[in-house]
Chains A and B, each alone.
Chain A
Amino acid sequence: MKYRLLLLIGCLCLGVTFGQEKREWERRIERSEFPDSALELIIPYLDGANKIKFYLERDQDKRSYEVKLKKRRLRYSIEFDQHGVLEDVEVRIREVDIPNESFEAIRSDLGQQFSAYRIRKIQQQYPNINANPQEILKKAFQNLLIPELNYEIIIAGKEAKRYQTYEFLYNAEGGFLNKRIVRPIDKDHVLY
């Protein structure tokens, strides 16, 4: 009996440690919390979609909104800035969906940077570069290969005996645009 009480007290006391540090985070939100202007843009595309989830991401002082959905067996991610302006649309694809020449250029670049690497995720990105957001959404949901699209590739790359997760951005021809380190998705919160 006394052990049960001690354990209870222990669990309750730990609660006071919550929220004492400033942090970057993302969380799932309700549809009602999503910006109205953004919601108006995507409503026509929610028809026939499932696994629709809304997220709020906060990165220091910057805030952005994201909606993820699955439609016609494709996974879409639509991002908006804090004012509800479309940033980009991303569609999850596989290696075979990238044109051969573009993919060869990408592989060549990755081979030069890493001794070993594993592609974890590929997304076809339709950025909103001074274009009509409705036009961008239309092209993305038609899965068109347009010159303005980019390929966003999440890689686990090995350099100097350690693995690090990177996000690479290539243009439609497979030309390198950007590289950044991303926070590891696989956290060790569960011990295996």
Chain B
Amino acid sequence: MLKIDNLHAKLEDEDKQILKGVNLEVPAGQVHAIMGPNGSGKSTLSYVLSGRDGYEVTEGSASLNGDDLLALEPEERAAAGLFLAFQYPVEIPGVGNLTFLRTAVNAQRKARGEEELSAAEFLKVVREKAKSLDIDAEMLKRPVNVGFSGGEKKRNEILQMAMLEPKMCIMDETDSGLDVDAMRLVAKGVNALRAPDRSFLVITHYQRLLDHIQPDVVHIMADGRIIRTGGPELALEVEKNGYADILAAEVG
């Protein structure tokens, strides 16, 4: 599914290297978590993979099912099946949530040479999926994320994910700013989307999200590289002892 090989990246207008050789492979159907201290490059990795401006890849490669991600525009990466759930979902006043969703779904279908969904078909699907995420009709009508609570914004991200049916979902600190109930709801939405042909890369600071979205593999990232990889128990170790021991072991 996702294959990252020796990925190096820096900020375009600064000479500071942020990713210093990331190697990572997420097979189809698996959930991988990336944990790591602040400034380790987790969010940068998600931005570089999804094609945000301002970063320059200096070395290495990243591919999704064989497609060279780094050669594609952000919208092409999306059409190829990549989805990034934002840590801070963006507010778009004046653009209705439904309009936005339908534009996105149909743009991707068009890019893949599929037929666009009619308004009626789209509404039927979106209502169904919104319901399971506890998103009411009112929220669907409102402008994208405007006036949404933190929890509503994150649920809206998951709704987009559910509608767009990506193959590879990257979740950038989706748990930040969520209370326990909101986190459960988000996790439920994500778990409902787990499928043999869909993979997840869950970026988080804390183990608690991983109680609800259980990972197959946990990676620890520090200073722009993956320094350790293990099973779910690695997340528990971090929760108990912090990153200090792992970092020390790596340096040692």
Task: Indicate, yes or no, whether A interacts with B.
Answer: no
**A interface residues (Cβ-Cβ under 8 A, vs B):** none
**B interface residues (Cβ-Cβ under 8 A, vs A):** none
